[in-house]
Amino acid sequence: MGEKRSDTKDKILEAALKLFSRKGFRETTVKDIAKEVGITEGAIYRHFHSKDEIIQELLSSITKELREEIQKAIDEGGSEEETFTKIVEALIRYAFTKPESFRFLNLYHLLKDYPRITHLPGELVLKFLNNMYAKGKLSTHPEIALAVITGSVERIFIFKERNFIKHDKNTLKEQLIKTLQKALTPKNPT
Amino acid sequence: MGEKRSDTKDKILEAALKLFSRKGFRETTVKDIAKEVGITEGAIYRHFHSKDEIIQELLSSITKELREEIQKAIDEGGSEEETFTKIVEALIRYAFTKPESFRFLNLYHLLKDYPRITHLPGELVLKFLNNMYAKGKLSTHPEIALAVITGSVERIFIFKERNFIKHDKNTLKEQLIKTLQKALTPKNPT
Amino acid sequence: MGEKRSDTKDKILEAALKLFSRKGFRETTVKDIAKEVGITEGAIYRHFHSKDEIIQELLSSITKELREEIQKAIDEGGSEEETFTKIVEALIRYAFTKPESFRFLNLYHLLKDYPRITHLPGELVLKFLNNMYAKGKLSTHPEIALAVITGSVERIFIFKERNFIKHDKNTLKEQLIKTLQKALTPKNPT
Amino acid sequence: MGEKRSDTKDKILEAALKLFSRKGFRETTVKDIAKEVGITEGAIYRHFHSKDEIIQELLSSITKELREEIQKAIDEGGSEEETFTKIVEALIRYAFTKPESFRFLNLYHLLKDYPRITHLPGELVLKFLNNMYAKGKLSTHPEIALAVITGSVERIFIFKERNFIKHDKNTLKEQLIKTLQKALTPKNPT
DNA sequence: GATGAATGAGATTTCATTCAT
DNA sequence: TATGAATGAAATCTCATTCAT
């Protein structure tokens, strides 16, 4: 009850996400979005005050969603090493199961000035990495580790999306986790 | 002595690079570029047929430049491990000394459809990685290694540019090289 | 009942016809057309994709209309001589009752490259003239006859329009019919 | 002596005539003309104050030339009937030997408002036709006769130019003269 | 809520003309 | 005389947003 609140609004967000992530913000017009939904331009403005509002709403819901995935990985408990793996897994999984959302995020952060929203998913990861670093379980500075992790995931995702990498997604996931572990955790002496 | 040949054309390319890399392609107008150069819009069109031609010319010259840097690193000789280091160094150096060009490339590849130009800088690196892999000196698939390398460099660059990372550039370079070596080269037993 | 469907589109076509026929295609701007209709330039583009689309739509509707007039003259039956007269009459009548359309056609065929549309009004007339020629009722080649007929009608129309000829339209029509009959039908001996 | 005065100016006029007659006034740019001549835009303005001045100069020289051809036909003497034939011949000959000039004239008179120049070639012909009419040797009003003559010649020319008529030029000339004679001169009663 | 015509600002591009060299 | 860069006005077209229905 009160659940079906604005079916259309969701459809608009869905359509907008698809188009923005594919074509970019400027090259996607309000008319494009309306056509994709099957309504007219004017109708969009019943649900959103502006095109930018759509972008902001997408940004914050996607950000929230990804943050929750990461939080889940952290909350599940286990050793630092296990959690590390789970976080990387969550990132890759998110990229591959919600490619449009993932692309949207990358696009947004590359194009728009520093985000107005506060709690970026990366912050959660960074907090965890800081922790690892303090315990001597991270072999480089946390910010650098974060860059290596997120940069690698994004690039793997793009390569796969564009068919530049032929390996299947599972292989990619395994290899990437293994590689990042090697890269970022200290060599276990005996 | 024929030196001042098309001073303006170069100024236009320079201004365009600055603006495109900062604001994106669509959000940079021809008028913006003209104003930056100190001429009028119309004058731009004496030097380029269209806005897109400016973008293409930038793309190809930047691509060429970066390719040359990488080629130099490869040509210098040395062991695979040394060359690997030199390539990563060349990438980081390029990002930090030509930040606008580096940003332009990333933006272009994210926004525009697959490039028509053939010889991407990445191809050179990939060829080298394939070689390493064949010799058992690379601990994951070459494409994945390429993704990790380029993704990490890009992300480090962005973090630094946005002041999200405070470490100085040399530290970043050293740490990144060390990390990528650990990540991608097999553990040397004994 | 669905009658007012796209009132504006018709007004645009009407205004465009008036301006194109008076000033030519290039010298008529979309702004001119918009002003004539009483809307803004942008509004034009809700009804047509481009200025050229307006021209093409006018061309095809005018061509169709004139073809129908000629077809009517042919279908009414009677001797070849009577039909010949009726065709010429139809042409003159069209020129004088729809001067803008007639001028548009002449302008288009003089300025634009050979039309892509197939069924030109002239083709109908030519078919009829071929028939007459085969029966020995035409005293010169059909193509030449067609040139004389259409060229004369056009020039009479222009002269009258520019007040270079003072005679009234009925006199012009009668005289032209008489003259073309003399010119193109064999002398009836005895 | 003083003969070679401004070779370039003539070349400009020649190039302009070619382009204007082919593409129209607006669609021919000053740069087009300059390129055709093999000079640059700026140089054009050494010889003419404006694009329109080129058009006007062409118009007046072509008009003069055609008027002279007609005058020659009139001056050669002979019976009215012979002169009539000579005038028509002169018009056809002009169209076929100077197609660009002929096309230019037609285009100009269709597109531009009533000419600023006074002595149109048609006026000469009209004077002659008035004379014939007064002597009972013309079977319709002179203005109408003029329209039929000039309209027919123009249309024959266009048809031939566009390959719509296959007959050779001589046939066209003969047939047209014969047809116009039939059309415009009274039946000779025994 | 929805439609779709219209606005109005602005983007890209064209081009006659000017001007420093 | 000639060059060709530059101007500045205008043309075509796009699009976020508004609004009457």
| Mutant choice from C111, C172, C184 vs D, greatest count of D C-beta within 10 A | C111
Per the structure, the residue whose CA is closest to nucleotide E15 at C1' is: D29
- Higher pLDDT: C53 or B6? It is C53
Rounded-to-integer distance, Cα B134 and Cα B187, Å? 16
Residue with tokens 């006018």: C58
- Higher pLDDT: C4 or D188? It is D188
Rounded-to-integer distance, Cα B24 and Cα A27, Å? 12
Alpha carbon dihedral B87, B92, B95, B96, in 10-degree steps, equals -140
CB atoms within 10 A of CB B59: 19
What average pLDDT score do residues B101-111 get?
92
pLDDT band at C186 (very low <50, low <70, confident <90, very high): confident
Residue with tokens 């030196």: B3
Rounded-to-integer distance, Cα D86 and Cα D108, Å? 25
Helix, coil or strand: residue C144: helix
**What pLDDT digit, counting tens, does each position of A103-113 carry?**
999 999 888 86
A150:B155 CB<8 A: yes
Q: Based on the number of CB atoms within 10 Å of its own CB, is D122 exposed (0-12), middle (13-18) or buried (19 or more)? A: buried
**What pLDDT digit, counting tens, does each position of A6-48 carry?**
799 999 999 999 999 999 999 999 999 999 999 999 999 999 9
**What pLDDT digit, counting tens, does each position of C127-176 carry?**
999 999 999 999 999 999 999 999 999 999 999 998 899 999 999 999 99
How distant, in Å, are the alpha carbons of B11, B72, B85, B86, C129 from that of B77?
A: 37, 9, 12, 10, 86
Rounded-to-integer distance, Cα A93 and Cα A68, Å? 13
Q: Which two three-digit tokens encode residue B54? A: 């400016």
Percent of chain A with pLDDT over 70: 92
- Letter string b/e over residues B104-117, b meaning 16 or more CB atoms within 10 A of that residue's CB: bbbbbbebeeeeee
Q: Which two three-digit tokens encode residue B32? A: 């913006």
Q: Over 70: is that where the pLDDT of B115 sits?
A: no
pTM: 0.91
Rounded-to-integer distance, Cα C188 and Cα B130, Å? 95
Percent of chain C with pLDDT over 70: 92
Rounded-to-integer distance, Cα A174 and Cα B98, Å? 34
pLDDT of residue D103: 95
**What pLDDT digit, counting tens, does each position of A137-188 carry?**
999 999 999 999 999 999 999 999 988 999 999 999 999 999 999 998 887 5
B143:A165 CB<8 A: yes
> Amino acid identity of D101?
S
Q: Which two three-digit tokens encode residue B123? A: 């191809």
Task: Give Cβ neighbours of residue D114 (< 8 Å, ≥ 6 apart).
Answer: C162
pLDDT band at A77 (very low <50, low <70, confident <90, very high): confident
- Integer distance in angstroms from CA D31 to C1' E6? 39
pLDDT of residue B177: 95
Q: Report the Cα A92 to chain-centroid distance in Å.
A: 9
Q: Report the Cα A22 to chain-centroid distance in Å.
A: 15
Q: Which domains does chain A have, with CATH numbers?
A: 1-48 (1.10.10.60), 61-184 (1.10.357.10)
**What pLDDT digit, counting tens, does each position of A113-144 carry?**
655 555 788 999 999 999 999 999 999 999 99
Average per-residue pLDDT for chain B: 91
Q: Say if residues D177 and D89 touch (Cβ distance below 8 Å).
A: yes
> Which of A75-79, A117-121, B72-76 has the weakest average pLDDT?
A117-121
- Nearest-CA distance D116 → chain C (Å): 14
Q: Say if residues B130 and B174 touch (Cβ distance below 8 Å).
A: no
pLDDT of residue D1: 39
Against chain B, the chains showing at least 3 CB pairs within 8 Å are A
Q: Over 80: is that where the pLDDT of B113 sits?
A: no
- Letter string b/e over residues C91-101, b meaning 16 or more CB atoms within 10 A of that residue's CB: bbebbbebebb
**What pLDDT digit, counting tens, does each position of C75-131 carry?**
998 899 999 999 999 999 999 999 999 999 999 988 886 655 567 899 999 999 999
From the Cβ of C12, is strand E under 7 Å away? Answer: no
